[in-house]
Amino acid sequence: MGSVTRRLAELARPESLRLLGAAPFGRIVYTVRALPAIVPVRHLVDDDMVIVRTHVGGDCAGAVVAFQADSIDPVAESGWSITVTGVARRVVDPDEVAHYEKALTPFVDMPNVEVLRIYPEIIAGYELVSGS
């Protein structure tokens, strides 16, 4: 594509979480029978935790997962990508569940949609910028 040299500039944790919270959707990465699986989900960032509603909660709850979102402009060849890795836990408090159900509409209408909270252990945020 372009002839401009690009590099990845590492983003600080607060900036990574801010960008992640502004993204319209992301992808939860989990394992099924030791194989990677990825599902697009709507999410929000609340108190530095990633909250998702998904039908794959049973596969994710209690497991280490990754959550990734990005905003890349293919014409300008610029943008950012954030990956959060941590343990996913079911949200079970009825008031919290009701709050998140109002705030997050899942992409698909499927049975067994659950609210998960991802506790970030590792946050890798990068911005694609011009320069060497």
Please choose, from the candidates 60, 56, 119, the residue with its C-alpha nearest in 3D space to the C-alpha of residue 85.
119
Q: Specify the length of the chain in residues.
A: 132
pTM: predicted TM-score of the whole model, two decimal places: 0.90
What pLDDT sits at residue 110? 77
Say how many C-beta atoms besides its own lie within 10 A of residue 60's C-beta.
25
- Tell me the mean pLDDT per 10 residues along the chain, length 132: 78 97 95 93 95 87 95 90 97 96 84 91 94 68
Domain 25-130 has CATH 1.10.10.10: no
Q: What span, in angstroms and rounded, lies between the C-alpha atoms of 75 and 85?
A: 29
CA–CA separation, 73 vs 119, rounded Å? Answer: 29
